[in-house]
Amino acid sequence: MELGKKLPHGMSINRFCGQMHVCRSRFYYDPKVESQANLNLMKQMDEILLEHPATGVQKFVDLFHLQGIRVNHKRISRLMKVMGVECIYPQKCLSKGGRAKYVYPYLLRDIKAKHPNQIWSTDISYIPMGRGFIAEMILQSIEYGHSLSTFVLA
């Protein structure tokens, strides 16, 4: 939100920020966007992670050095945080110690589908595209195989 363009004529910045319930530093803040070089690195990292989800920071540094791209581990780590991804690796099994707080019952255990539209299932998949993601929602009848698919651009 660019507050500077919404400032009414003749109103002080202090009063305007008070009415908008934001601090004055927010009025002057200009968010920075990622450089094109970082976006290219993030795209390459995403392609590698789709094939090898166990690739970590040091492996990315080594792969980029082999391609002739000079990066350090701090930059790769920051870009992975921006992308919201982390390396998959064996971790401690902390959930094995205690009992489950609640076990959800299987509600379709004794139900037999006798007619269409009685039992349905859903699935939502996010597919990465060039400029964002496409979300696909599938609604499917379990017993009879009818399905309805919906695509949403995000």
Confidence of residue 143 (pLDDT cuts 50, 70, 90): low
Q: What is the mean pLDDT of residues 66-83?
A: 94
Note the pLDDT of residue 69.
94
Q: What is the mean pLDDT of the chain?
A: 81
- In the chain, the amino acid numbered 21 is H
Note the pLDDT of residue 40.
93
DSSP 3-state of 68? coil
Residue 82: pLDDT over 50: yes
DSSP 3-state of 148? strand
Q: What is the mean pLDDT of residues 36-63?
A: 93
The proportion of the chain whose per-residue pLDDT surpasses 90, expressed as a percent, equals 27
39-43, 45-49, 125-129: least confident range: 125-129
**Structural tokens at position 102:** 């609640």
